[in-house]
Amino acid sequence: MSRVFRTISESFKTAAWSRVSDRLLRSPFQIVASGMAVPIGITAILIGASVSEAMSRVLIALPEVVRLWGVVLVVGGIASVWGRYGGRPWLERVGLRTLGPAYALYGVSVLLGLGYGGLVTGPMFLALAGACFVRSRLSLSAEAARLAAEKILDEGRPPQ
């Protein structure tokens, strides 16, 4: 009897890993871009304004904004990865649309706070913000196309 349960358990683990690895291979950039937000956000929450010289210069009068920025990164990163792995496109979009402004805030503050010293990192984070918005839009378009195809199939008409 235990052999049957072991076989079922092993096949379930294999199927679950197959789904996870398939989603990871289809979108490794998004997983890394979203996943890296979590440790960065936790660091910002724990350390506060001194986590980034650029942000502490730009937000000198509002040091708690950095902690809020950290919370946004953690929530957006977890939502995006969980939505991607869990097959929940709406949660993935929420996460990406949360991460976009957070990455943009950092990119702008690096450019403003560090001047020439931020000419590499600032545009990189602004591009990352743009990528979050574009991916969110593509995810929305793909979901709309999938729902339209399901509706056509449910009605029994051939797709055109």
Q: Is residue 73 situated within a structural domain?
A: yes
**d(C-alpha 101, C-alpha 92), whole Å:** 15
Q: How many domains does the chain have?
A: 1
Structural domain contains residue 97: yes
Task: Give a yes or no: residue 107 inside a domain.
Answer: yes
Residue 113 covered by a domain: yes
Which amino acid, 30? Q
Q: What is the rounded CA–CA span in Å between residue 146 and residue 159? A: 12
On whether residue 14 sits in a domain, the answer given is: no
Write down the pLDDT at residue 48.
83
Range of the domain at 108: 28-155
Chain-wide mean pLDDT for the chain?
A: 81
Q: Is the pLDDT of residue 123 over 60?
A: yes
d(CA 96, CA 31): 11
For residue 48, being part of any structural domain is answered with yes
Q: Is residue 21 part of a domain?
A: no
Q: Tell me the average pLDDT across 96-115.
A: 91
Alpha carbon distance 75, 147 (integer Å): 27
- Alpha-carbon dihedral sign for residues 85, 91, 97, 100: negative
**Token couple for 52:** 């980034």
**Is the model's pTM score more than 0.85?**
no
The answer to whether residue 47 sits within a structural domain is: yes
Kindly report, residue by residue over 47-102, the tens digit of the pLDDT.
887 888 878 777 777 778 889 999 999 999 999 998 888 878 889 899 999 999 99
Contact 71, 97 (CB under 8 A): no
Contact 70, 56 (CB under 8 A): no
